[in-house]
Structure 1
């Protein structure tokens, strides 16, 4: 097997008729999801757990074992030892990389520099950190279960070709193809085919998906969660990507991708609606039971931190200390939150906002 040389973008010979109906359905679902985002008072707060769950599932595709609850418990008690520490750091890096990307988009647009910056953050302090993070690879890599390249499932392009291939990809990102979702399918696949980094390509390839749709103004917020579908259908995900290099089957990949968008968008819409409804219900209940002018601050804290300690609530909620302790007692008294670890001495109690976590899954 020789290193693969990808087609130059845009794809010239692709039968768009094969997925014209899927394009309409996929765009309709994404538009519904974005409409929901725009109706929310603060989607970044309300959907914070879904964003973390996306990071969990994207990392899980690469072999991590940490769950959403593992991450939230760690954030509540970072000093407590956990055997999943390195997995959790990978997931937290995803969120940091997203914050970085949104900030940099204002300054440098969607460029290869941005992609390299995302890669540097994703691999900071975790597996692959010593593999030239933040830089395109300068060595040949291969994909397969064996370290022997002769037994490889796929051999990406030679390192000398990576800069020009990524330059072509960058130009394609800035161009407007016939449909943005099909263009996203092509961008994601081409990135994975080029395999521009020594390690971490899967994580980078998935995080740039919501960034692309936000950049193209398809979404008003960079919240686009597909990793759940890719994780559930992992074998098909890898197989469809592989068939591009084996049979030039771009149509098969695009069909798979559009179906993923349709199915996962429906699930994301249901979850987002349930979260929004829960927010409205708890807004009324917290206001009614606490009679506090800090009710909204309390609510926003719970949605951003579904697992937290009493000391975190006091220090991070930006509520005066006396009021914060009073609110915490009332939240527990009226079963809005429940205690999962009772504090003792200087060790704070740990609480969970169960109803939100049940929705996120």
Structure 2
């Protein structure tokens, strides 16, 4: 079976047109049994010969991607992103929305790869508290560094565009000092890799040979920057993410860099000016389906099924992010009102409160440094917020106390 067809999927290919209902919107899932997504070549690694998959350049062809498979759900996803952008403009500070959203995406994309760190672990590490799973937290903080580097480049007139070079730079930061640091950080792989299985010969999937990776990524880069695109931006993002994961250009960290690329492209094409959506939450919740849809592209050319799944994910994640923003804004507004009504509250307490969404775990010493004030003044401000039930002391000690803006953390981790 030269095209790598999976016999278990033949029943799908015998149904050329299949209706589906995604998030209340009727769409058409169109299957094209004659399309192939790539070819197989023989590659060798660890003394074994394997069939490595080399994807065709984007966009899908022979036949072209069926518009009826994505028009309705793409419109739904674009509207959800537009609402998300709109509601973000109604809150007093986009910065504290970004603080939580970026960290949640960093955590969830790392958890897909097996990281066990929690959002509280991340907040504790930033507060200077001791954390048990330091390796896992390091992976998440490295993702944050990689994401900021990509974002800074895209927003700078002198920065790199979305390119192989930019992704390699992000990859170097992702693996720096963490698990995988010995797997060529910042470099395209020089050897054959494989996914699943105990050895290359029984792998679930074998990506293209190393010597073809640079050319394949170059084709993908040209597709991103094509002068006259014929597909909607969200559809292009879906195609690029799947293509990147199929190429699997690094020895480690491909999933995280591939999902970082999604966020970068959302900004690049003006779909979301700030990274307020954590799509990795949807992909983690539907992880088996995520991997199955990607696999179906390679085994049966089912780009339509993957695109519909991806667009549904964008719509769902954007709607969830919108609800999260409303909940957080309501909490902060209610707590701010309680503080303003308190006769004991003064300017330092007000300033401390406004920093809480970006400093949800803290010590009095950290407050002193953050607000550039004296220790007694910082202590008094914290005491006002504690008496009002806004923050909670966590140690039960009289010295070296630490505090948490717990309702806010619970909303983020919901």
Aligned equivalents of 1:319, 1:205: Cα separation in 2 = 43
Q: How far does residue 243 in structure 1 lie from its aligned partner after superposition?
A: 1.0
- C-alpha contact 2:70 2:308 (8 A) present in aligned 1: yes
CA distance in 2 between counterparts of 1:161 and 1:234 reads: 28
For the pair 1:265 / 2:300, whether they are aligned, the reply is no
RMSD of aligned Cα (Å): 1.7
Counterparts of 1:204 and 1:92 in 2: how far apart (Å)?
Answer: 14
Aligned length, in residue pairs: 356
Q: Who is 1:52 aligned against?
A: 103
Structure 1 residues 266-275 or 67-76, which shifts more? 67-76
Q: Which moved more, 1:255-264 or 1:283-292?
A: 283-292
User: So what's the TM-score if we normalise by structure 1?
Assistant: 0.93
* Partner SS, residue 341 of structure 1: coil
2: CA distance, partners of 1:312 / 1:343: 17
1:100 has 2:142 as partner: no
Whole-angstrom CA distance in 2 between matches of 1:317 and 1:40: 23
Cα deviations by residue, 1:228-260 (Å, 9 ceiling, x for unpaired) = 111111111111111111111111100111111
Structure 2 counterpart of 1:64, from 111, 115, 120: 115
Where 1:3 maps in the other structure, the secondary structure is strand
8 Å contact kept, 2:183–2:251: yes
| Structure 2 contact 345–381 (Cα < 8 Å) conserved | no
In the alignment, which of 87, 104, 115 is matched to residue 167 of structure 2? 115
Query: Which 5+ residue runs of structure 1 have no aligned equivalent?
Result: none
CA contact (8 A) 2:294 2:306 kept: yes
Q: Does 1:329 align with 2:378?
A: no
Q: What is the TM-score with the length of structure 2 in the denominator?
A: 0.82
Give 2:137's aligned residue.
Answer: 88
Summarize deviations over 1:117-158 as a string: whole Å, max 9, x none. Answer: 111111111111111100111110000131x11101111111
Task: Give the equivalent residue in structure 1 for 2:307.
Answer: 254
1:210 and 1:223 in contact (8 A); partners too: no
Alpha-carbon separation, structure 2, partners of 1:244 and 1:114: 26
1:74 corresponds to: 125
Structure 2 residues not aligned, in runs of 5+: 1-49
Cα separation, partners in 2 of 1:177 and 1:112, compared to 1, 3 Å: farther
CA distance in 2, matches of 1:281, 1:236: 40
State the secondary structure of the residue aligned to 2:362: strand
Q: Does the C-alpha gap of structure 1 residues 39 and 113 become closer, same or farther in structure 2, counting only changes over 3 Å?
A: farther
Please state whether the residue corresponding to 2:403 is helix, strand or coil.
strand
Hey, what's the Cα distance between the residues in 2 that align with 1:357 and 1:140? 42
Partners of 2:142 and 2:175 within 8 A in 1: yes
- Partner residue of 2:47? none
1:153 equivalent in alignment to 2:153 = no
CA distance in 2, matches of 1:171, 1:322: 59
CA contact under 8 A between 1:192 and 1:205: conserved in structure 2? yes
Q: Please say if 1:311 is aligned against 2:365.
A: yes
| Equivalent in the alignment of 2:13 | none
Say whether 1:23 aligns with 2:77.
Answer: no
Matches within 5 A, 1:131-142: 131-142=183-194
In the TM superposition, 1:30-41 aligns within 5 A as 30-41=81-92
* Structure with the largest fraction of helix: 1
Distance 2:354 2:149 in 1: 22
Which residue number in structure 1 is paired with residue 214 of structure 2?
Answer: 163
1:239 correspondence with 2:283: no
Question: For residues 39 and 318 of structure 1, do their structure 2 counterparts lie closer, same or farther at Cα, with a shift above 3 Å needed?
Answer: farther
- SS of equivalent to 1:332: helix
CA distance in 1 between partners of 2:398 and 2:374 (Å): 23
Q: Distance in 2 between matches of 1:170 and 1:56?
A: 27
Q: 1:2 to 1:303 in 2, by over 3 A?
A: same
1:300 pairs with 2:349: no
In structure 1, the residue matched to 2:3 is none
2:51 maps to what in 1? 2
Q: Contact conserved, 1:118 with 1:204, CA < 8 A, in 2?
A: yes
Larger radius of gyration: 2
Deviation track 1:57-107 (CA, whole Å, cap 9, x = no partner) reads 1111101111111222233234x251x110011111111112111212211
Taking structure 1 as reference, are residues 288 and 174 closer, same or farther at Cα in structure 2, changes over 3 Å only?
farther
Once the two structures are superposed, what CA deviation does each residue of 1:12-45 show, in whole Å capped at 9, x if it has no partner? 3211211211111111111111112233332232
Q: Report the Cα distance in structure 2 between the residues aligned to 1:319 and 1:46, rounded to whole angstroms.
A: 26
Post-superposition shift, 1:56? 1.2
